[in-house]
Amino acid sequence: MLPFTRDQFLANLVSYNEAIWPVQLAAFAIGVLAVALLFWPPRMADRLIASILAVMWLWTGVAYHWLHFTEINKAALIFGASFVVQGAMLAYVGVVRGQLRFGSGSGPAASVGIAFVAYAAVLYPLLGIWTGHAYPEMPVFGVTPCPVTIFTFGFFLLAKPPMSRWLLAIPFIWSLIGGSAAFLLGVPQDWLLLVSGVVAVFLVVAYHREADWKA
């Protein structure tokens, strides 16, 4: 059982969305920029993508979990800390060390990655509206945990070997936590989250292992 009701969860989302407006627009804009950067050859593009993902995780950890979700669930203190750690890891590995490289690519991993990115940025909010969760009573891309996680999995599937497997750990754990809660709360646009972690981890590990064998 969850320590809060569905109505409390939705009311908390409304309060959060109204408090941070118009950050949602900026989040969507940098999400589009991240996708555009996949087709931008310079090395700096990889660092910019990593920084965008890091900002999304840091923002969600602090603004969503710590400053709002803790009002109805004290476990959000731990959730927020994990998101901040993930954001810091992305910043260190991808921005400081420059060890994350992305590309549109081809093959099963890239195809699923593109699908995850498109789902998180476009289909996710549309499905929410279609199922009766119109703004502001909906998780919004780039500033709430579930779409941020799916979006990140999409980019991990588009990452070129080698990539630190540690970057997969926190998103995978959240996919199980957030995905399970989505069924209890009746948030169908988050149902994909529950399987996205398993699919993404399997494909990333398989793709990178194949690359290691060929090296």
Q: Note whether 133 and 14 are within 8 A (CB).
A: no
The residue extents of the domains of the chain are: 6-214
pLDDT in tens, 47-71: 999 999 999 999 999 999 999 999 9
- Residue 160 is given by DSSP the state E
Query: pLDDT-based confidence at 1, cuts 50/70/90?
Result: confident
d(CA 165, CA 108): 19
pLDDT in tens, 76-115: 999 999 999 999 999 999 999 999 999 877 788 999 999 9
What average pLDDT does range 110-134 have in this prediction? 91
Residue of 213, 211, 212 whose CA lies nearest to 105 = 211
Whole-model pTM? 0.94
Residue 215 has pLDDT above 50, yes or no: no
Looking up tokens 């093959």 gives 107
Q: Is 92 exposed, middle or buried (0-12, 13-18, 19+ CB in 10 A)?
A: middle
* Paired tokens of 56: 């999304």
Looking up tokens 């070129």 gives 160
Q: What local confidence, expressed as pLDDT, does residue 212 receive?
A: 52
Residue 32 has pLDDT above 90, yes or no: yes
- Residue 141 is given by DSSP the state T
Following DSSP, what letter does each residue of 45-83 receive, concatenated? HHHHHHHHHHHHHHHIIIIIIITTGGGT-TTHHHHHHHH
Please, which residues bridge with residue 102 across strands? 159
Q: Greatest CA span in the chain, whole angstroms?
A: 53
